Structure 1
Amino acid sequence: MTETWTRAQIGALGEQLAVDYLTSHGMQVLTRNWRCRYGELDVIATDPTAGDAVVFVEVKTRTSDRFGGVEQAVTPQKVRRLRRLAGLWLAAQDRRWSHVRIDVVGVRIGRTRTPEITHVRAVG
Structure 2
Amino acid sequence: MADHNEFGKIGEQLAVDFLIKKGFKIKHRNYRYLKAEIDVIAQVSNQLVVVEVKARASGFIGDLKDMIPKKKRDLLVLAANNYVIEKNIDLEIRFDVITIVKENGTYTIDHIEDAFYFF
Q: TM-score, normalised by structure 1?
A: 0.83
Paired with 2:7 and 2:105, the residues of 1 have a C-alpha distance of 15
4+ aligned runs moved over 3 Å, structure 1: none
Given candidates 5, 9, 22, the residue that maps to 1:8 is 5
Are 2:26 and 1:34 aligned?
no
**Among 87, 105, 113, the residue aligned to 2:105:** 113
Q: Which has the larger radius of gyration?
A: 1
Q: How many residues align?
A: 114
Greater helix content: 2
Higher mean Cα deviation, 72-81 or 99-108? 72-81
Any unmatched runs of 5+ in structure 1? none
Determine helix, strand or coil for the equivalent of 2:115: coil
Compute the RMSD of aligned alpha carbons: 1.6
Match of 2:80 in 1: 86
Q: How far 1:70 sits from its partner (Å)?
A: 6.1
The answer for unaligned runs of 5 or more in structure 2 is none
How far apart are the structure 1 equivalents of 2:47 and 2:36? 22
**What's the TM-score once normalised by structure 2's chain length?**
0.87
